[in-house]
Amino acid sequence: MSDELRDLYQEVILDHGRHPRNHRHPEDPTHHARGDNPMCGDRVEVFLTLRDGVIADAAFEGRGCAISVASASMMTELVAGKTPEAAEALFRGFQALCTGADHTHLPDVDASDMERLEVMSGVRQFPMRVKCATLAWHTLSAAMAGADRASSETDGGKS
Ligand code: ZN
């Protein structure tokens, strides 16, 4: 990647980190879960409103490093309007992206969504950061599954 592109990508992450989208507590979410990443001190709570089989609204609250907040912000934008299955598929794609695994042949993953998530792929060089980037997604997954808390399954160190 050129330096120019890398700067641009950081710009996107910084923008989401400073001005997170959907950073609010909805009045009547149907699903929610909390997640935390003690390695970095990131905490997030994800709120979903499922209606007619799709995620009608996704929002989050929490605080943490720029990567964790930016990732949560981007996630809420990307999963809105999707079925839980499609959101779960995108989570698998994002996990693969963050850990450097091949994500080009995963089923049911929207290529343009993956393109937008590509900005986060720099975390694969930093296993600690992978946890920051995937925290919101683990929490989303837990919320959709009806769990109150995200499992503390580890993403880091799979190099
Ligand atoms: Zn973090």
Domain assignment present for residue 155? The answer is no
In which domain, by residue range, is 133 found? 3-148
Mean pLDDT by 10 residues, the chain (159 residues): 73 93 95 96 97 97 94 98 96 94 82 92 89 97 90 49
Over its C-alpha atoms, the chain yields an Rg (Å, rounded) of: 14
Q: How far is the CA of 131 from the centre of ligand 1 (A)?
A: 7
Tell me the CATH number at 81: 3.90.1010.10
Q: How far is the CA of 13 from the centre of ligand 1 (A)?
A: 13
> pTM of the predicted model, to two decimals?
0.90
Q: How far is the CA of 83 from the centre of ligand 1 (A)?
A: 28
Q: How far is the CA of 153 from the centre of ligand 1 (A)?
A: 16
Domain assignment present for residue 154? The answer is no
* Beta-bridge mates of residue 60: 23, 46
Number of domains in the chain: 1
Domain assignment present for residue 129? The answer is yes
Tokens of 89: 């598929």
Domain assignment present for residue 156? The answer is no
Domain assignment present for residue 158? The answer is no
In the block, tokens 């049911």 appear at: 108
Under 8 Å between Cβ of 58 and 140:
yes
In the block, tokens 């925290």 appear at: 135
Under 8 Å between Cβ of 66 and 14:
yes
Cα–Cα dist 97/49, whole Å: 27
